[in-house]
Structure 1
Amino acid sequence: MTSEPLLPDMKRARRTGRWKIFGRSLIASALTRARRTKPNASHQPEGSSHDVGQEPQIVRQAPVAVQPPPGKSPTTEFLDALVGTQQLSAGRADYISSIVKEHQLRGRPATAAELVIHFGFVPARAVLDLIQSMGLQMPLPADAAALYSLWPASLLAQLRVKPIRLHNGTLYIAAVRPLLPFEEALLIDRARAGDVVITQIVQEPQETVATLAAINTTAHTTGQQLTDLLARHDIAATPDALGPALDSLLTDALENGASDIHIEVHDNLAETRIEYRVANGLNHRASVSPQLGRRLAVLIRERAGIDTSNLEALFDGDFRFRYHGRPIDIRVAILPTHAQQKLTLRLSDPSAFQSLPAIFEHFPEFVKRLEHDSAKASRRGSMGIVTGATNQGKSTTLRAFVMNMPRHALRVLEAGEPIEVKTPLTTQTHINRHADVGLTFDAFLRAALRHDPDVVFAQELRDEETIRAALRIVETGHMFLSSLHADSVVDTFPRLFSFIHASRAEAAFVLSRGLSWIIHQVLISTPCRACSTTVPTSQLPEDARTTLGLEDDVEVVSLNPAGCPECRYQGYGKQRTVVPAGIWINASARQALHQHLSRIVADGHFADYDQILAIPGIDYFPRGPHLQTLAERHVIAWQTAVHEINWEANRGH
């Protein structure tokens, strides 16, 4: 039996089309040409040329096999290098190779580098470094997006510069004119403030028109200029188009590392406040008049496709905004208030994903265990849960776990409210709780079993119906992933049982048999690199030295309480780092875990949950030692480490 072709319908259509269109004409032409050339064939002197206009003689030869060119193609070399460096599995490499061939057949060429980044198999920076280090003759992937966060858009516009890539300390740029020495020094100094070292700047030749077009795709009015722009719109007698002002507001928020923009419009107050959520804090950005606040609200509603006249209903919408050439998803939530309305804009970059090594950069044990579990995702009947407070990166960790799976060989179903990041090779469903639709998390989970899933990913466990449906998925032999609001690793168990009001013994059985791991994570602000200093631990207070448990000659980072303009006088930088705690449940612990949970459920002794950590076969990784390690490595300030360690001790596990 012959194997089916890669695209059977396409090949069949191609053969049929050629026969119908060209078949008869080609046969007639060939017969005519043969009649013309046959009489002259015997009289043609050997080696002589044909007369002008005379049909050349057809000489039929035996078919010769086409030999492939010597050596490997750049695509094969690239994929082999990824496999050799263990950045890509052999199965994924074969899958990418087949996709490249399929795109070629369809007339839509795509490079292997673009595909491994698109599918989330390898980070863009790793792909870029590999291509340049090997000197492969293939197009470089677009990786400049990650560079733009190092400099304000207003500075890049002023210098007329477009960053292209950064490799081995060399920044490659496109510029309208050669940069002056002090301008290069300005770019290098601003990058150093973001912990990026640049040793030299190389200007690559690009068309001036294309460079200007790339620069002008982003609003350049940020910082104090944005405040002045909003003030000008405030006092304008006839307000002009607010589009550039809103674009500048979004750009300014992204450059300040904001995850949310809050705008609360009041009719009876003298001002409308605009605030950014940066890290764990809410920062005031600007105050505008109620009139300008209402006009901004109307424009945001129009872009998000929301009714502009109804101020008494809840609304959700979204739109896209281009930031340095890449799309940013803006999710809009509107809440009616007694004064007027409250708008919250959530900023999300759909093209940016963080890998497990990037998230748990300082915790290789977590990376090793999570990568192992995600690579073996076909293992049946398992559950993984990430817990923590709101805005602590739970969904980001779960998505990185999913992106590390061999999704080309699995059926992965995901439900979210909403779907914030589009994940290739994953079936994603947007939860819609409207009464006419009724697509809730538990409805999705019940329907998911009819679609032959290997992995089911629900973004959040929030009610009894959803948890029961999740346990049913695990019980029927599938992998289930989700997040949960809990205060600690151990608090996950009473939190789950608090939702379940009946058949708790059955839930205890499924959890003890299927639960694989629980991670509780918090995002902790890192110190501002521009104003923080280092001090030896010998100069710290006695209680701080005892809490940190470090030697006296170890240097740690100390916060500057006054801050500086770079950190908006907060003392902290824009970045946050994950500090996890977690447990992994081995097979040898399942029987004891079942007995312990059954006893707790039967007796109602919730205080006994802490004893779960002492069960043999459960690997527990507390957060306290992680905080000490981060302080020693200058990732977080000693004040932050001491505060978090004391909080962990007072809260328990």
Structure 2
Amino acid sequence: MAVKSSTDSGHRALIKVLTTLGLISEADANFSRYPSKEHSPIAYFALQGCFKENEAIDKVSQALAIKKFEPDRSEINTLTDLLEAESFSEIPLSFWQKIKAIPVAIHKDRILVAVANPLDHESTKNLEFTLGKQVEIQIAREQLIKNVIGKKLSSNETFDIESIVSESDTKIDAEALDSISQQESSIVEDDLTAAPIVRLANKIFSDAVRHGASDIHITPEKEKLNIRIRVDGIMRPLLTIPKTLERLIISRIKLLGGLDISEKRRPQDGRIRIKTTEGTKDLRISTVPTAFGENMVIRVLSSDISLLSFKSLGMPEEISSRLLEALSGSSRIVLVTGPTGSGKTSTLYASLLEVRNGENNIITVEDPIEYRIQGISQIPVNKKIGMTFAEGLRSILRQDPDVVMVGEIRDAETGSVAMQATQTGHLVLSTLHTNSAAAAITRLADLNIPYYLIASSLGTILAQRLVRTLCENCKRNLNDKEKQELAVLQLNLDNSLTADGCSRCDNIGYSGRIGVYSLLEVDEHVRNAIREQSTERVIEDAARALGFLTLEESAIRLTESGQTSLAEVKRVIGSLTPEKTRSFIRTAQAKTDSSSSADLKKRTILFVEDDPDLRTVFTALLEKEMFEVIETCNGQTALQALYEHHADLILCDLMMPKMSGAELLQKIRSHPATRDIPMLFLTANDAPETELHLIKSGADDFISKSARPELIIARINNLLNRVG
């Protein structure tokens, strides 16, 4: 009997719950923007960086009075075997995949099922109808469910490698290879009818994707074929294959990628698209000849970049807001720098998604095109026909672009054309391979680009690295011995953590990665330092007035917040010396002193009023009382100001164009980051029903615009004292 699922209504219901619990904002909850096929709402918004998945599951579990399912690693095999139980013989694995659920226990009168979305009632009813029993649900992490189903699919692919070895003695003629190549469209994990070598290739791909690998390395050695994967920047062994199967597996993958299987002397490049339980993935293949055979490296890319954003990359709001400001301008170049594998491409694509608004013309030159984006013209580099970065850039400047993205500045010609493009009003995005933000200036100068052109063209430089985040399950405080070993760095180690490894993180101690960012904004002081050909240190010092931190300083912040360890920082950033950490301590102390001094003098009020004359009068009154005032003219600009600045109180008009005060109140109270900011409303309407409506909606106080100035100030101080 076939079972059906209808998940849209369930997704809508769960998104509403997440909004009610304050886990996501009203804007995030727009269902039309939610790609429901690959992820349940909790997993999707966790990937977007809105919250931690486990914390959201705990809150939803409590709100809905549904138990949370979190098995030990040792129970995974039992869960996998349960999918084969006779009770579920009429339910295909594809259905469990689609509804993101697994059975976890069978009782006499009911079935216990773990689900990623406990509000998908339609699928639950279909299960009950098919099974003839009551279904009791528990909520679980989506990745746990995928792991169980993936393990089952992987076990369905079991085969005897020895039998493949015996078959490999038979010559693979052209007809046999053609039959293999015809299966390109069926690269799925549960293809049991495929030839053994095809299933072996599928297993390599699916296991790599399941482990979250960014790269697959297929390395020929003297007596074997070694297959490793790179997970969170670290190489891990995956599989060892007998030497006799080397030609078969390499030929299979080359055929899928459109490579010439007869050419073994020259490097080749190709692409494959596969479907797995983790969604559709694009594989980028590169081969080079070595002493023991063809070495193959496969980059694993997600074909769906809808999840890509500054928030999902783990970029701090302080950095993302400043970067967004840089992207909103023109006549400047924004550079992202770092070594290979530091996340530069992801940041560039996230930037493109931010500036893509349908009102501008965006053109890119890339080598290769890693993600295809709707609404953007993307041009691949093709050296065979003379389409280099420089030539492509010259061509697209004749295409009336507003925003230009050049994959990488590799030579003087590309750098010079990119700089000149900013002089004609274009916003240019690109990358450089340098170790720090200031080093990008030195690198551009090394490419013989004049300092005056660098100074006038540069807008912002973002240097970045990726560090592994500590496993939430096994991270712990440093012990006394570990603190003593790190005492030479003179850091505050009270909040620093490490991890010993556990079953949940494969005994590694880390799970996932987060970005370390160093943003250097180029203002007039920095521009003058560049024109004077100052050292990198002088340029960095000039940028500190705008909040510049080095990579080392940003990384230390992550250790102090318990997100990563000092050992991981040393591995990625380099050795931490007392000199480097002293610089961080001085910077942090200066910020603390400055902040403390400012707190004694001024508190910030966001003033929202559409009448410019009233804004002038009230701002003068507030500034006289030693308040810092941020002026905005309507609710929309107020929300943007809150995104960019901190406010201790919001003083707001009620009737305004574009977004009224009542609408702004609703938006602010629905978002966790702003809902606790006190709001005092100014209005010409002093009717009791208006005041009652505002108070019920979440306003803290209400006062007439015609009230005496001292009364208005008293109300403001009263609210500020109430919240501390």
Could you tell me the TM-score, scaled by structure 1's length?
Answer: 0.64
Which residue is 2:284 aligned to?
331
Aligned partners of 1:650, 1:229: CA distance in 2, in Å? 56
In structure 1, C-alpha distance between the alignment counterparts of 2:456 and 2:281, rounded to whole Å = 41
Deviations 1:320-344 (A, max 9, x none): 1001273210111111223321111
**Residue of structure 1 in register with 2:6 after alignment:** none
Match of 1:357 among 311, 315, 320: 311
CA distance in 2, matches of 1:458, 1:350: 21
Q: Of the candidates 260, 265, 279, which is equivalent to residue 215 of structure 2? A: 260
Q: Describe the shift of the 1:417–1:117 C-alpha distance in structure 2 as closer, same or farther (beyond 3 A).
A: farther
Q: 1:325 to 1:344 in 2, by over 3 A?
A: closer
Q: Residues 630, 411 of structure 1: CA spacing in aligned structure 2 closer, same or farther, 3 A cutoff?
A: same
Cα deviations by residue, 1:370-426 (Å, 9 ceiling, x for unpaired): 22333x2xx321111111111110010111111111431111111211111111211
The answer as to whether partners of 2:362 and 2:401 remain within 8 angstroms in 1 is yes
> Is structure 2 residue 322 aligned with structure 1 residue 394?
no
State whether residues 222 and 248 of structure 1, in contact with CA within 8 Å, keep that contact through their aligned partners in structure 2.
Answer: no
1:381 and 2:324 correspond = no
Describe the shift of the 1:209–1:636 C-alpha distance in structure 2 as closer, same or farther (beyond 3 A): farther
Shift of 1:566: 4.7
Distance 1:343 1:125, change over 3 A: same
**1:533 counterpart (463, 469, 476):** 476
Name the structure 1 match of 2:274: 321
SS at the partner of 2:383?
A: coil
- Residues 603-624 of structure 1 show CA distances to partners (whole Å, capped at 9, x for unaligned) of xxxxx23211222665412233
Contact 2:334 2:461 in 1 (8 A): yes
Tell me by how many angstroms 1:470 deviates.
0.8
> Do the aligned partners of 1:382 and 1:514 also contact (CA within 8 Å) in 2?
yes
Q: 3-state DSSP class of the match of 1:204?
A: helix
CA distance in 1, matches of 2:233, 2:311: 23
Tell me the residue number matched to 2:484: 542
Counterparts of 1:113 and 1:648 in 2: how far apart (Å)?
Answer: 43
1:221–1:248 contact (8 Å) kept in structure 2: no
**Where do residues 176-255 of structure 1 align in structure 2 (5 Å cutoff)?**
179-180=105-106, 204-206=124-126, 230=161, 233-234=164-165, 240-255=195-210
Confirm or deny: 8 A CA contact 2:275 2:281 kept in the other structure: yes
Shift of 1:510: 2.2
Q: Secondary structure at the match of 2:398?
A: helix
Larger Rg: 1
Tell me how large the CA RMSD over aligned residues is: 4.8
Equivalent residue number for residue 615 of structure 1: 542
Give the 3 Å change call, closer, same or farther, for CA 207–223 of structure 1 in structure 2.
closer
Q: Which amino acid aligns with 2:334?
A: G
CA distance in 2, matches of 1:590, 1:116: 46
Aligned length: 491
* SS, match of residue 580 in structure 1: strand
- Name the structure 1 match of 2:411: 463
How far apart are residue 151 of structure 1 and its match?
13
**2:404 match: secondary structure:** strand
C-alpha displacement of 1:451: 0.4
Q: 1:634 aligns with which of 562, 566, 571?
A: 562
1:77-92 equivalences in 2 (<5 Å):
87=27
- Code of the residue aligned with 1:558 in structure 2: it is T
**Equivalent runs, 1:486-501 vs 2, <5 Å:** 486-500=434-448
The structure-2 alpha-carbon separation of the partners of 1:325 and 1:264, relative to structure 1 and needing over 3 Å to count, comes to closer
Q: Deviations over 1:122-147 (max 9, x none)?
A: x95389999xx9xxxxxxxxxxxxxx
- In the other structure, the counterpart of 2:32 is 112
TM-score w.r.t. length of structure 2: 0.58
**Alignment partner for residue 462 of structure 2, among 516, 519, 528?**
519
**1-side partners of 2:475 and 2:505: how far apart?**
10
Q: Does 1:442 find its partner at 2:442?
A: no
The 2-side partners of 1:243 and 1:638 are apart by: 44
Contact 1:547 1:645 in 2 (8 A): no
- The answer to whether the 8 Å contact 2:104/2:113 transfers is no
How many Å apart are 1:86 and its aligned residue? Answer: 7.8
Q: Does 1:592 align with 2:528?
A: yes
Partner of 1:582 in structure 2? 519
Q: Decide whether aligned partners of structure 1 residues 372 and 179 sit closer, same or farther in structure 2, where only a CA change above 3 A counts.
A: farther
1:365: Cα distance to partner? 0.8
CA contact (8 A) 2:228 2:236 kept: yes
**In the alignment, residue 621 of structure 1 is paired with which amino acid?**
L
- Tell me the SS of whatever aligns to 1:525: strand
Deviation at 1:238, TM superposition (A): 7.5
Alpha-carbon distance in structure 2 between the residues aligned to 1:152 and 1:415: 49
1:85 Cα deviation (Å)? Answer: 5.1
What residue in structure 2 maps to residue 478 of structure 1? Answer: 426
Inter-partner Cα distance in structure 2 for 1:544 and 1:533: 16
CA distance in 2, matches of 1:645, 1:304: 35
CA contact (8 A) 2:344 2:431 kept: yes
Amino acid at match of 2:308: Q
Question: Which of 456-465 and 523-532 deviates more?
Answer: 523-532
Structure-1 separation of matches of 2:380 and 2:128: 43
Q: Does 1:304 align with 2:254?
A: no
Residues in 1 aligned to 2:46 and 2:146: alpha-carbon distance in whole angstroms: 26
Change (3 A) 1:609 1:631: closer
C-alpha distance in 1, partners of 2:161/2:555? 42
Q: Tell me the amino acid that sits aligned with residue 164 of structure 2.
A: H
Which of 367, 372, 377 pairs up with 1:427? Answer: 377
Q: Secondary structure at the match of 2:532?
A: helix
- Corresponding residue SS for 1:358: coil
**Amino acid across the alignment from 1:577:** I
More displaced 10-residue stretch of structure 1: 309-318 or 223-232: 223-232
Moved more, 571-580 or 608-617: 608-617
Residue identity in the other structure for 1:357: K
Deviation of 1:206 (Å): 4.4
* One-letter amino acid matched to 1:243: V
Instruction: Judge conservation of contact 1:219–1:248 (CA < 8 Å) in 2.
Output: no
In the alignment, structure 1 segments of 5+ residues that lack a partner are 1-73, 94-110, 134-149, 166-170, 192-197, 601-607
Please state how far the C-alpha of 1:263 moved relative to its aligned partner: 1.1
Contact kept in structure 2, 1:265 and 1:342, CA below 8 Å: yes
Distance apart, 1:247 and its partner CA: 1.3
State the distance in 1 between where 2:511 and 2:165 align: 30
Q: Matches of 2:239 and 2:158 in 1, distance apart? A: 7
* Structure 1 counterpart of 2:323: 370
The alignment-based identity, stated in percent, is 20
Matched letter for residue 340 of structure 1: G
Q: Is the 8 A contact 1:415 1:444 kept in 2?
A: yes
In structure 2, the CA distance between the partners of 1:350 and 1:210, relative to structure 1 (3 Å rule), is: farther
CA distance in 2, matches of 1:476, 1:430: 24
1:525–1:572 CA contact under 8 A, matched in 2 = no
Q: Using a 3 Å threshold, how does the CA distance of structure 1 residues 438 and 525 change in structure 2: closer, same or farther?
A: same
| Other-structure match for 1:194 | none
Paired amino acid for 2:443: R
- The CA deviation string for residues 534-587 of structure 1, in whole angstroms up to 9 with x for no partner, is 345x55333514536226xx3532232xx4555445x2434111111121122x
Check the 8 A contact 1:596/1:612 in 2, yes or no. no
Report the CA distance shift for 1:126/1:219 in structure 2 as closer, same or farther (over 3 A): closer
